Structure 1
Amino acid sequence: MRFIPTRFHGILDYVVGLLMIASPWLFGFADNAYATWTIVIAGVLALIQTVFTDFEVGIIKKIPMQSHLMVDFGLGVILALSPWMFGFADYVYTPHVIFGVFSILASLTTHRVPSRSYRTTTAHEEPLR
């Protein structure tokens, strides 16, 4: 069941991407390199992907929304499993699991196509009929 509009998903991507980047310092695990770099890189990738996605809040508009959602799903799985994959689960795992599961759920509940009004006003494509 997909109920999250693409515009809202994009706004969440920017907020959550920045929060992921800041989380090692916000949640006190910045002294663990693997835990820190895993979530920081995931946040940077989320922001870059959002900037390049062809939807309401994208800037460069090169990645289709369906591809964006597939990457969100894959990144979420990797992020949620990363504490055990990279061996820092004894130190910290909660932020990685929460952000990972959030990404998975967002990818499964967001509309696959931007709103009709966005598609008819996009300059680089023909209007929908």
Structure 2
Amino acid sequence: MRRITFTSESAERCQLIFGKAFAGRLPESLKIVDSGFRKVFGERLEDEYLMPGGEHVKSVDRVFEIYQVIRASRRKAITAVGGGSLIDLVGYASSGHTDIEKLFLFPTTTVSQVMPALKGFRV
């Protein structure tokens, strides 16, 4: 397995991990996963909630759906695995929910790998 670590002057770091055992490397958290990724990955993740990908998921109804899932899970961290639309949705919902302390993003498309760095998601 290969690992590349980026650091900045603010002492925050970003790691890119390439290799197998993806599920074992996910942090303990509520995992909101793109159903398309799940079809490819095949393995069910612990504490997983499936959502469809695509622009149509960006709606207020989906934000409230995520709020209900957060409340039911009682987790303080969220891991989003999917494309740009799902990551946008989860990032928006987690920034507006007072219980969430950490947000982990695992983008699965080229665009979703670039956009969070440009937007600057923060929880």
TM-score clears 0.5: no
Q: Which has the larger radius of gyration?
A: 1
Higher helix share: 1
- Between Structure 1 and Structure 2, which shows a larger proportion of strand residues? 2
Question: Bigger relative contact order, structure 1 or 2, given CA contacts below 8 A and separation 6+?
Answer: 1
TM-score between both structures, scaled by the size of structure 2: 0.30
